[in-house]
Amino acid sequence: MNTKHFACVLLAVVIFGFFYGASTLNQKWDSAVTATEDAAARHTLKKQEQALTQGALDFTRRETAAHRKYLEMWRPRFEQSGTSEATAKNEFSRMLKRFPSLVQFNNTTSAPVENKDMAFVNRRVASSVKLEGDAEKAVQFLASIEREMPTSRISVMEIRKGQRGNAVELDLSVEVPLLASPPPPAK
């Protein structure tokens, strides 16, 4: 190989270098375009997911509006009973005190019982009382419980003829719902 051949080879190598460099840049361009297309595809997918989630949310919002309004209507009444046995007991005692002419026997309150399949209204306490007094007052008392403690449930009620003329004996068991305690605040 003489110097002329060597110069030609050198020139050819330089030309190849140019092509190689251009090819490498072209590959980088392709990679960048592919990466952009992938990112665009992911973006589109996320946008579709967002649109689906938005649709589902709108649907849920529409479908549950009546129920949620119903909850907002009753929530204060349930919160009145509170989350503890003592609050529920006090509410029932307060009602009893409004009818002093009815003589009380055996006023007891049970320990909270779990409500099956319920996580919010998850417990209830039953207050039982035996009363004796005027029939009219006893009926008024019953009506007051159902009117002023609308979330309570009279589970057992028995009216019997009393000892005197218009007197009756009333056995009553009233269940008051308790709400689940709110979770402790995160530290």
Residue among 80 and 151 whose Cβ is closer to other proteins:
151
The CB-of-164 to other proteins minimum distance in angstroms stands at: 15
CA angle 46, 50, 51 (to 5 degrees): 120
What distances in angstroms separate CA 121 from CA 44, 89, 97, 132, one per listed residue?
Answer: 43, 17, 27, 32
Interface with other proteins by CB under 8 A: which residues? 2-5, 8, 11-12, 14-15, 18-19, 21-22, 25-26, 28-29, 32-33, 35-36, 39-40, 42-43, 46-47, 49-50, 53-54, 56-57, 60-61, 64, 67-68, 70-71, 74-75, 78, 115-116, 118-121, 124, 139, 142-143, 146, 150-161, 175, 177
The CB-of-53 to other proteins minimum distance in angstroms stands at: 5
Contact 85, 112 (CB under 8 A): yes
Residue among 42 and 94 whose Cβ is closer to other proteins:
42
Cα-trace Rg, the chain: 39
Residues 6+ apart with CB under 8 A from 101: 133, 134, 137
The CB-of-57 to other proteins minimum distance in angstroms stands at: 5
Q: Which of 128, 95, 94 is nearest to 111 (CA)?
A: 128
The CB-of-174 to other proteins minimum distance in angstroms stands at: 10
